Structure 1
Amino acid sequence: MPKNNLINNLLYLFYLGFLVTVVAAFRAYSSIAIGLILITSFLYNKTNTGSWFNKALRNPFVLGCSGFFLLQIIPLAYTDNISDSLNHIQVKSALLFIPVCFFCCQFINKTRFHSLMKAYVFILVILLTWCLGISFIKYQFHHAPVYVFFYHQLLSNLGHHAIQFSILVFAGLIFLLQETTVERYIVNKGAHFILMVFLIGGLFLLSSKLVISFTLVSLAYYTFISLKRNFNTRYTIAIVALVGITTSSLILFTKNPISYRFNDIMRNNMIVMEQSTFDKGFYFNGVQFRLLQWRFVKEIMQEHNAWIMGVTPAGAQPLLNQKYLQTNMYAGRPGTPDHGYQGYNTHNQWLESFLQTGFIGLLLFFVICFSLVTMAVREKSRLLWPIVLLVIAYSFSESVFETQYGLIVFLFLPLFFYFGGKSYEKQ
């Protein structure tokens, strides 16, 4: 029993440390924490079941992720760029390790999930407050423009990607909203209400179009289900939702840094599909740049006849860089950190999978996404559904498997919420 308690406590501590480092962008320890969780999870399963390997490891999600990771290793047999290939393998090793952490033992359950999520919400609030404080100092004492409170600038001292951090904040908000529907509060009802408002405000400052859209839909949904129920807290959710929707309407339909990001995507997008070259000063908005990637990927696959196996993970970016140069896109200034569009990937995991690993990789990524949807359907969880839909939607606008935190957002959050809805017998 003492050994079991030690393993339980260590595993809980490693999960908590992982959440802290993910939100705080301590990338080195995030990787270490995954390794610690993995090793301790196998020990946990061994002490509780007598076996090192859990039957759940045969889950299609684990198999899909493992197959996709294998596609990163195969090109080592014939690629000329061993260094970049090894770098892709290192980054994408999370495809193997994170799913195994969850499926190799039955540790995360409803009780532990709720305990960890309460800590997670406070970590989010502390880090957002710290970022706002730094931005206020820059604005008040260093004469920085008001944009310092928005998007990437808000997180500049934290080193986070604004959209990925928005998804982390959204996960905390969904947890708070769901807790309210069952009249379960962090600290008390008043503090719970304040935390929800604070996270909603943070999401608007972070200015992710995708996450703001999901937030508005979620607020409308929770308003609807709460008004159908006859309990005292329905007014709390209704007030938060209505305030959020009203505020967002005012923000989106007036001139400000947030509405600018939404309006920017409406400008003359199809021009990029028709022009063979561009002026170096041409500004590509988000939609234009992503449309251009569809064109470039098609051209590259045709030129290299790489439809089945792709151009390899190490070969994809150099070929994209060539396309940027051929079409006269801005290439930065030599000798400075400004590299222009050089180094930009497809910003779409479906396209990136196809470009790097062909139809085989695209099929495996579909298996991964389909497995997530299947888990959400099977669990019928109001907590899991928005997270799954959001990360899949995010994969259409970002190459989520190309960075450590993109992988964490796509893999860890859905699995954490999935297992957080389960109840196991006391072990």
Structure 2
Amino acid sequence: MKQKNTIINNLIYLFYLGFLLTAVAAFRYYSSIAIGLIAAASFYYNKLTTGYWFNKALRNPFVICCSLFFLLQIIPLAYTDDWALTWRHIEVKSALLFIPLCFFSSEYLNKVRFHSLMKGYVFILVVLIIWCLGVSFIKYKYHHAPIYIFFYHELLSDLGHHAIQFSILVFAGLIFLLQETTQERYVINKGIHFSLLAFLIGSMLLLSSKLVISFTLCSLAYYAVIEWRKNVNTRWAIATVAITGLVISSIILFTKNPISYRFNDIMHNNMIVMEKKTFEPRYYFNGVAFRLLQWRFVKEIIREHRAWVMGVTPAHAQPLLNQKYLSANMYAGQPGTADHGYQGFNTHNEWLESFLQTGLIGLILFFSICFSMVAMAVRRRSRLLWAIVLLVLAYSFQEAVFESQYGLVVFLFLPLFFYFGEKEPEKQ
């Protein structure tokens, strides 16, 4: 029995590490397999350690809410006229079942294993970012690519990642290193630890996500205050770093560069989209303006189809949005090419997307998932978990997180990983 426990412990650890590697490296097929392997192995681990296949933790409200939201995606199969597209939505959102099962089906993950996995995770992040920088340098040096090749989506183009989602993955590593610093625990040694910390902060600036940079600056300020209060001898160093950071941030934000452009872009011509019925195809929508327009379109679609309770179904939500883009004369791309303009763009807001697809019922269930996540953060009283939970909740207002595999990973896996990572190991 002891040998079996050792084998299954090592297997689940490798499955978790394999998932973290494939998630960061954007190997979507293999990360899906890793999730299934973790879930299956966790059931077996629970059987070995408790004698039962099903853990009582599976009755957690978070698991129940995720399962009900997934069930809501299956119901339209009974009456949809686009069975294939409905099934595709079900396949993507099956992560709502499998990711919670990875964590709640056993008592495997704890603080010791979490710390070990996170150290490996940080090095995986660093290696992949260095690889992206190397590829971008080759393009810049030998293929005459513009300087923008080092920023935002362009930096990750060969990796196939979404810049904001990858920024959240980087933030998870960064916040872990910050928390370890306050506990005077270091990855290998103090020099390497702070080098990794500085590298991830620099990477965050290159990735240029307004949301994640804002959270990073708040986190750095918060941990600086903690260190200031705790250690009088390091106050001069903290003050020096804080002033240096403030100066660098000011230079970045108030001079012309790819990062300041991302912040300044959100300040112009936003409310006009709520009034204009049609636009010129060349009209530029910044992030805020486009999301405001989605609020208007969703309200119009729901009202026109009287779909307040059950929504318009996942299969019909995008086609109806596409019709709105066309009726507003928005850019529709070039026929016969891969450029489809705004066609295919979802609401970029999970609250809106849930309401559009599944009505008030889906919106209430999504709210319940978010509320359960906050309740877990309250229960743990963990700085790490609070940082991750607040970030992914904020992200759900600017991205339809349940419409892609990696959106689901960011929204579900990271909070649960950090939640169970605060659990003390069971006494043997």
Whether the TM-score (by the shorter chain) exceeds 0.5 is yes
Native 8 Å contact 1:193 1:236 kept in 2 = no
- Offset at 1:378? 1.1
Query: What are the superposed Cα offsets for residues 144-185 of structure 1, whole Å, 9 maximum, x if unpaired?
Result: 100000000000110000000000000000000000001000
Query: What are the superposed Cα offsets for residues 255-310 of structure 1, whole Å, 9 maximum, x if unpaired?
Result: 10000010000001111110111101101000010000000000000000000000
- Offset at 1:349? 0.2
- Offset at 1:230? 2.5
State the AA in 2 paired with 1:45: N
Quick one: distance in 1 between partners of 2:193 and 2:234?
11
Quick one: distance in 2 between partners of 1:70 and 1:392?
22
After the TM superposition, which of the residue ranges 212-221 and 249-258 deviates more from structure 2?
A: 249-258
2:34 is aligned to 33
2:50 is aligned to 49
Taking structure 2 as the reference length, the TM-score comes to 0.98
Native 8 Å contact 1:216 1:244 kept in 2 = no
Quick one: distance in 2 between partners of 1:142 and 1:118?
36
Pair 109,157 (structure 1): closer, same or farther in 2 beyond 3 Å: same
Percent identical residues: 75
Instruction: Give SS of 1:157's match.
Output: coil
2:170 is aligned to 169
1:229 is aligned to 230
2:358 is aligned to 357
Unmatched segments (≥5 aa) in structure 2:
none
- Offset at 1:19? 0.2
Native 8 Å contact 1:222 1:237 kept in 2 = no
- Offset at 1:246? 3.1
State the AA in 1 paired with 2:90: I
Instruction: Please say if 1:85 is aligned against 2:103.
Output: no
Quick one: distance in 2 between partners of 1:40 and 1:328?
52
2:392 is aligned to 391
2:136 is aligned to 135
- Offset at 1:240? 5.2
Query: What are the superposed Cα offsets for residues 33-55 of structure 1, whole Å, 9 maximum, x if unpaired?
Result: 00100100000000000001111
Quick one: distance in 1 between partners of 2:47 and 2:59?
17
2:367 is aligned to 366
Quick one: distance in 2 between partners of 1:315 and 1:378?
39
Quick one: distance in 1 between partners of 2:127 and 2:260?
27
Quick one: distance in 2 between partners of 1:387 and 1:407?
14
State the AA in 2 paired with 1:215: T
Give the length in aligned residue pairs. Answer: 427
- Offset at 1:250? 1.5
Native 8 Å contact 1:183 1:233 kept in 2 = no
- Offset at 1:234? 6.6
Quick one: distance in 2 between partners of 1:413 and 1:232?
35
1:185 is aligned to 186
Quick one: distance in 2 between partners of 1:383 and 1:231?
24
- Offset at 1:253? 1.2
Quick one: distance in 1 between partners of 2:118 and 2:245?
22
Unmatched segments (≥5 aa) in structure 1:
none
Quick one: distance in 2 between partners of 1:178 and 1:50?
36
State the AA in 2 paired with 1:59: N
State the AA in 1 paired with 2:209: S
CA RMSD in angstroms comes to 1.2
Instruction: Give SS of 1:28's match.
Output: helix
Pair 234,79 (structure 1): closer, same or farther in 2 beyond 3 Å: farther
Query: What are the superposed Cα offsets for residues 86-117 of structure 1, whole Å, 9 maximum, x if unpaired?
Result: 00000000001001110110111000000000
Native 8 Å contact 2:19 2:35 kept in 1 = yes
Counterparts in 2 of 1:22-421, with a 5 A limit?
A: 22-230=23-231, 241-421=242-422
Taking structure 1 as the reference length, the TM-score comes to 0.98
- Offset at 1:235? 6.6
Native 8 Å contact 1:347 1:399 kept in 2 = yes
